[in-house]
Amino acid sequence: MRRLLILALVPLSVAACGGDSKRSAGTTSATTTAQSQQGYVTAGNQVCIASDKRIFKIGRLTRDPKGWGRTAASARQGLAEMKKVRPPAARDAAFRQMLRYGNALALSIQEVHDALVKKDYDTASAAQLAAGQIQDRVHTAAKAAGLTFCQQSLTNWPA
């Protein structure tokens, strides 16, 4: 009997809340450059794949704030890239929700970093816990947005 070993790791959780985005949920302009459904999914997934690779290269996070700083920077990049993706109208609301959670996650990671710099480990721990919860919401929103790679619990977008 052969043994198959699957190696996986639950996504690393990180920092505290955030959330901004004052975008209205208004209608999309008729002249929007929304991509086709397949093009949208491909484009969104590619952003997540690139983000996932960056996070993998950063490696395991410790109490050293440098890794968290790099993770926060990667999160901001992942968010900026995702904002360029144009969902079809039917996915627009879910996509925007995913962006809001993604933004909250990026802010949380930054908060972990900032707390670690100050050696405020209680705040860092609380922020990390919150980030893990936000990351779950990112994946749920990504599923609603129809982004098949991004929605996987082991995918790290924006971080």
Q: Is residue 77 a contact residue for another protein (CB under 8 A)?
A: no
Non-local (6+) Cβ contacts of 98 within 8 A are 82, 138, 141, 142, 144, 145, 147, 150
121 φ/ψ sector (left φ>0, alpha ψ -120 to 50, else beta)? alpha
CA 135 to chain centre: 7
Task: Give the footprint of another protein on residues 11-30 (CB under 8 A).
Answer: 11-12
Q: Is residue 3 a contact residue for another protein (CB under 8 A)?
A: yes
Q: Is residue 55 a contact residue for another protein (CB under 8 A)?
A: yes
Distances (CA, A) of 98 to 64, 67, 82, 102: 29, 24, 10, 6
Our CB check for another protein shows the closer of 144 and 149 to be 149
Written as six digits, the tokens of 128 are 């990390």
Q: Is residue 156 a contact residue for another protein (CB under 8 A)?
A: yes
Task: Give the footprint of another protein on residues 118-147 (CB under 8 A).
Answer: none
Among 22, 23, 60, 84, binds another protein (CB under 8 A): 60
Give residues in contact with another protein (CB under 8 A). Answer: 1-12, 49, 52-53, 55-56, 58-61, 149, 152, 154-156
